[in-house]
Structures are given as structure tokens and as C-alpha cells.
Amino acid sequence: MSEPDSIPTVHRIAEAVTEAVRDGRLAPGQRLTETEFAGRHGVSRSSVREAFRRLTADGLLAFEPNRGVTVRILSRREIDNLFAVRGALEALAVRLSLPALKAAPERLLALLAEMDRAVADNDMPAFSAANAAFHALFAEVADNALLSETLTRLSNSIYWLQFRMLVDRRQVFDSHAEHRRIVAAILAGDAGAAEEAMRTHVDGSRKLVQQLPDSHFAG
């Protein structure tokens, strides 16, 4: 019997779809069906439909006439636009959170250490998890609900999820040096340097994505 409709159920399905894209189990352009997801997760089709609707609004999925719901494919221009917005907002989050993180840097330093270990162990899943937590920390500590909500929506968009599995992992690991520059600027209390380091870091991700072949992008 299908699980009754509820906000937690819809959220669970949305998270399952997002994770599948992040892990490469759902590819850009792949069609998704309500029946398949409802059966796989033991929920109602209406719950799946609502989860698809939310993810379409967030930009992860797209609705195409005669095809239904698919994993969205972005153009190169859309990638640039998304990274530009993300960079500006991440830099703002760093500036707003800097006083609190400088005063109590334990969580920041712990996440940096987690990424150090992941790079040493060549552990991409662990690195990705710690990296996501590292970026989320700034929005959390900044204590600005609108900023946090907007960054979450951008994180759930397809802008990076569909490309993470395609970019050379050595290049991803090399970006860890930029995390260290961000942390060093925060510990020094230099908001300008911290913001600039974050912008450079986000733009570096954009450049990695743009190095991929045209076949990975919408026309």
C-alpha cells in the first residue's frame, strides 16, 4: 500500500531524485515517470508528482511536451549565469558569517580536516560530503533565512550535480587549496580576502564545468 501524501514523503522523494542525479544514476535528459518512482519508494503517485513539481521549480528537472519530466540539461550560458549568482551569494555568506566563525572556528576547521583526509585517501564521496557541509556552514552561520534558502535552491539546481561525476577528480581535489585560502582569510579576520577567495573558488568550479565537451550541454 502506498504511503499517504505528506510533506515528509514529498521531501523524501525529492531528496531521492536529487541524490540519484548527484551520484550519476540519473543522467541529464533522462525521463522520469511517476509510476516507477511511486512503486520503487512505496508512495502515492501524487506524492511523486508533487516532488517532481518542486524539483522542476528548483531547476533540477524540466517538463517537456510529449516527453514529460526529464532531468534538466543546461546550456553553457545558463551555467555561467548560475555560477555568477552562486559566487556572489557565497561571498556574501562568507562576509556575514566571518565574525562568528573567527570567534569560534572549530566546526570550520573540522570540515577542513575532513576534506584533508578525503584528498589524502582519494575518497571522492567523503570529499563531496565535507565540501557540501563546508559551503552550507557559511549560510547557516550568516543567519539570513533568505540567503540560506536561495543558496539551497541553487545547490539543488542542476548547475553542479550533473557535472560533478564528469569532471576529473584530480582537478576537483586540487580545488581544496582554495578552501584553505578561504579559511586562512577568515581566521585573519580579512573579509575582503575571504570574499575574493570564495568568488575565485566558485568561478574555478565554473571553469571546470565549461571544459567539458559540447555534448554535455543544451544547445
Instruction: Give the CA count within 13 Å in the CB-facing half-sphere of 107.
Output: 15
Rounded CA-CA distance 4/7 in Å is 10
Contact 46, 5 (CB under 8 A): yes
pTM recorded for the entire structure: 0.81
3-state class of 107 per DSSP?
Answer: helix
Arithmetic mean of pLDDT over the chain? 89
**Of 79, 31, 59, residue with least CA distance to 156:** 59
pLDDT of residue 160: 55
Amino acid making up residue 41: H
**Residue 32 and residue 110: Cα distance in Å, rounded?**
38
**Percent of the chain's residues with pLDDT above 70:** 93
Q: What values do phi and psi take at 63, rounded to 5? A: -105, 125
pLDDT above 80 for 158: no
Least confident of 27-41, 86-100, 110-124, 180-194: 27-41
Does an H or E element contain 76, and which? helix 76-103
Q: What is the pLDDT of residue 1?
A: 44
Torsion of CA 122, 128, 134, 135, to 10 degrees: 140
Mean pLDDT over 142-165 rounds to: 76
pLDDT at residue 167 greater than cutoff 80: no
The amino acid present at 120, given as its one-letter code, is A
